[in-house]
Amino acid sequence: MSKERIKPLQFARAWILPSNDDLSLSAEQKQSMEDLFQSEVSKYNSGQLVTGKIIAIDSNGVLVDIKYKSNGIIPLYEFSEQEMRDIAVGKDLEVIIDELENVNGDVVLSYENAKIVRSWDRITKLFEEGKPVEGVVTHKVKGGLSVDVGVPAFLPGSQVDLYRVTDFDNFVGKTIIAEIVKLNKKRGNIIISCRKYLSECRDKSRKQILDTIEVDKVIMGTVKNITNYGVFIDVGGVDGLLHITDMTWGRISHPSELVKIGENVTVKVLSIDKDNSKISLGMKQLGDNPWQDIDKMIQVGSIIKGHVASIADYGLFVEIRRGVEGLVHISEISWTDRISNLKDRFKVGEEIEVLVASLDIENRRMSLSIKQLSKDPWTTIKENYKKDDRIKGKITNIADFGIFVQIIPGVDGLVHVSDLSWTEHIAHPSDLYKSGQEVEAVILSVDEDHKKVALGIKQLSQDPWKTIDKEMPVGSRVMGTVTKIGNYGAFVKLSNKVEGLIYNSDLEQGKENPVEVGQTHELRVVNINAGERKIGLSLKLEATAQDQQAPVAKQQQQQQQPKKKVQVKVVEEDYVEKATSAPRMKSSLQIELEKHAARQNEESLEGAQDSKKKKAKK
């Protein structure tokens, strides 16, 4: 560091008088001079804040006269660029006396320390009065920003704005106003908050606006935020809520269909809550309610026209007039058709004709119907068709579980797969029927509540199993054609279409293929079970003695069966008694253990006898 250059201007002027050895001062004069000097010197102390006048400004610094015995010079680095532009010769300047006299006899002044002292006094006064402070953001620090308010102050990141801030670089170099939250002069700590200041300003603004705004007043606002349930509008610093139900008399799915963020809109004040600082706004209230006189134009039961406004999963919304919409529920589209997707039948903007089913002006609801434009076909079914009636119709659809037959246009009946045939085993209805084929059926039941009609085709003829015992008694001979050969035997279709079975035990012996599919044979009826719909057949046309005795033997076997059970039980009881009474065989291990125990007993007895003999001798 270079030596400070001392200039003559730093010192006060003095006139040297010729010495006079004869000059002498009295004691009073000396005391007066001493008092005068002390009074002047006592005015200034180290660390004192004084005001001086700028005498000169050059490259060495700023020379300041504080009316002391010598002037003080302040280095240029203590002044910022803006401050250098503001100072000039002749202007007053507040400085701090660092030293009245250093080793060189100079007065040491500091403008920077004066600023700090002055700033602390000012900030302390603002803190005590609860007033905000103004400063410039200098740079970004860990956890927030550093702000120059005369002295460095800390602005936490959470207190920068009312809303969360992620980029602090945008605030560097800007002038801000903040509230002083915490102050510690000893440690030199100052914590400020812009959020608190902005919140207080907003509350004051809200209060002023709430005092000026009145209900039913029409005001302008700016769209600030859009949510699913409405729009927040800034009306002079206060956010008001425009609910989605108050945006239009019609129907919208989202508020973004009508407004955008940043757009200026005209709204009407619906209600004001001054305690909670809330304002409810409305947009549809700017116009007349189109539902007010709708009953004069539309009556329940009348047929009207409208345009499809929107399509939902549960129905159609039809716009009758601007702001008035009605709902055609999916159940009101057709009497008979099952509709899964309305978009396949209708398009938005399409004009359709509907019937007004109900009208609720108070709740602004209108129920519409398309199917009620025509007569309910189920009324015809109820009046003209009864159980056991025969009908003819075309097959409209074939499913795994049956076929649908059209009874009248719009009404179909179901023939279940189990009601197609008395005797046939049908894997799928399409094996016998085709779509569009005309068939005859019998009405089995009519379910008016669920709008279902059950039909049957096999009921057109009598069940052959009811008369099978008379037509084909056991022992009679019948003709049949082999249809299939299975694991149990050969299946044969008889003349009445009843299917019987030739068991493997009844097939002719000695032949590899005694019967083949498609062959016709004369067979004998062996047994019939009408309940289970089974009939047994045999290639042996004459009944043997064994076949005749089989039923008798079977009956005897059933009669003797209980006695056999008793005999078995007796045998089992005898066996148990014998098993419990007979001695059990010992294992080799048990035998060895018994021998070892016997030896130990013998040894103990011998030891006892020896001890007795010794005692006797003694």
Q: Cα 516–521–526 angle (5° rounding)?
A: 105
> What pLDDT, in 10s, does the model give residues 448-462?
777 788 998 888 887
Q: Please say which residue of 460, 479, 513 terminates a domain.
A: 460
Does the pLDDT of residue 320 top 70, yes or no?
A: yes
Cross-sheet strand order for the sheet of 72-74: 72-74, 61-65, 49-58, 92-99, 108-110
Give the pLDDT of residue 154: 92
Predicted pLDDT at 220: 87
> Same structural domain for residues 369 and 451?
no
Q: What is the pLDDT of residue 568?
A: 34
Confidence of residue 588 (pLDDT cuts 50, 70, 90): low
pLDDT, residue 41, reads 60
Q: How many domains does the chain contain in total?
A: 6
- In a domain, residue 312? The reply is yes
The residues near 45 (Cβ < 8 Å, ≥ 6 apart) are 97, 100
**Residue 605, in any domain of the structure:** no
C-alpha span between 430 and 28 (Å, rounded): 146
What is the model's pLDDT at position 11? Answer: 52
Q: In this structure, what is the dihedral angle of CA atoms 165, 167, 168, 169, given to the nearest 10 degrees?
A: -160
Residue 398: closest CA among 434, 350, 355: 434
CB 248 within 8 A of CB 238: no
**340 φ, ψ to 5°?**
-100, -30
Instruction: Give per-residue pLDDT as tens, 354-378.
Output: 998 888 877 888 899 988 888 777 7
Span 566-585, pLDDT tens digits: 343 333 334 333 333 444 44
pLDDT of 334 over the 70 cut: yes
Angle at 599 between CA 594 and CA 600, to 5 degrees: 100
pLDDT bucket at 5, cuts 50 / 70 / 90: low
Residues 364 and 381 in one domain: no
- What is the secondary structure of 347-382 as a DSSP string? -TT-EEEEEEEEEETTTTEEEEESGGGS--HHHHHH
Q: Is 96 exposed, middle or buried (0-12, 13-18, 19+ CB in 10 A)?
A: buried
The model's confidence at residue 555, banded by pLDDT at 50, 70 and 90, is: very low
Residues 312 and 368 in one domain: yes
Alpha-carbon separation of residue 260 from 228, 229, 239, 269, 280 (angstroms): 13, 15, 16, 20, 19
Q: Find the range with the poorest average confidence among 396-405, 460-469, 579-588.
A: 579-588
User: Which amino acid is residue 238, in one-letter code?
Assistant: V
The gap from C-alpha 567 to its chain's centroid, in whole angstroms, comes to 74
pLDDT of 2? 43
Examine the pLDDT at 54 and tell me if it is beyond 50.
yes
**Residue 583 belongs to a domain:** no
User: Are residues 9 and 122 part of one domain?
Assistant: yes
506 lies in the same domain as 399: no
Beta-carbon contacts of 368 under 8 Å, excluding residues fewer than 6 positions away, are: 306, 318, 326, 327, 328, 332, 354, 355, 356, 357
Q: Which domain holds residue 491?
A: 464-544
pTM: 0.41
- Asked if residue 83 has pLDDT above 50, the reply is yes
Taking 80 as the threshold, does the pLDDT of residue 424 lie above it? no
Q: Which of 144, 166, 199 is the last residue of a domain?
A: 199
Q: Which of 173, 179, 45, 176 is nearest to 100 (CA)?
A: 45
Closest C-alpha among 117, 107, 171, 105 to residue 144: 171
| Mean pLDDT lowest among 35-44, 125-134, 425-434, 513-522 | 35-44
- Asked if residue 3 has pLDDT above 60, the reply is no
In this structure, are 484 and 515 located in the same domain?
Answer: yes
In the chain, % of residues over pLDDT 70:
82
407 and 519 in a single domain? The answer is no
Span 382-399, pLDDT tens digits: 777 888 888 888 988 888
Same domain flag for 136 and 124: no
Q: 5 and 97 in one domain? A: yes
Distance between CA 319 and CA 366 in Å, rounded? Answer: 10
Measured distance between the N- and C-terminal CA atoms of the chain, rounded to whole angstroms: 125
Write down the pLDDT at residue 570.
36
How far apart, in whole angstroms, are the C-alpha atoms of residue 157 and residue 206?
25
Same domain, 11 and 96: yes
- Residue 592 domain-assigned (yes or no): no
Q: 391: number of CA atoms within 13 Å, CB side?
A: 28
pLDDT at 408 over 60: yes
Same domain, 471 and 443: no
Q: What is the pLDDT of residue 19?
A: 55
Question: Using one digit for the tens of pLDDT, what is the confidence trace for 281-310?
Answer: 988 888 777 777 777 788 888 888 888 888
Q: Give residue-wise pLDDT tens across range 472-531.
A: 888 788 888 888 887 778 888 887 778 888 887 777 654 666 777 878 888 888 888 877
79 within some domain? yes
Q: Is residue 115 in some structural domain?
A: yes
pLDDT, tens only, 161-220:
887 888 888 888 888 899 999 988 888 889 999 988 888 887 787 777 777 788 888 888
What is the b/e burial string over 349-373, where b = at least 16 CB atoms within 10 angstroms of the residue's CB? eeeeebbbbebeeeebebbbbbbbe
Q: Which of 94-103, 205-214, 601-610 has the lowest mean pLDDT?
A: 601-610
CATH code: domain of residue 72: 2.40.50.140
User: What pLDDT, on a 0 to 100 scale, did the predictor assign at position 604?
Assistant: 63
Q: Distance between CA atoms of 268 and 279, rounded to whole angstroms? A: 10
**392 with 439: CB under 8 angstroms?**
yes
Looking at the structure, tell me whether residues 441 and 387 fall in a common domain: yes
Structural domain includes residue 267: yes
Residue after which a domain boundary falls, among 373, 400, 423:
373
**Which tokens sit at 248?**
């239009």
Query: How far apart are the C-alpha atoms of 316 and 309, rounded to whole Å?
Result: 8
Give the pLDDT score at 336. 72
pLDDT at 277: 75
Report DSSP state, residue 457: S
Asked if residue 484 is part of any domain, the answer here is yes
Share of the chain above pLDDT 90, in %: 3
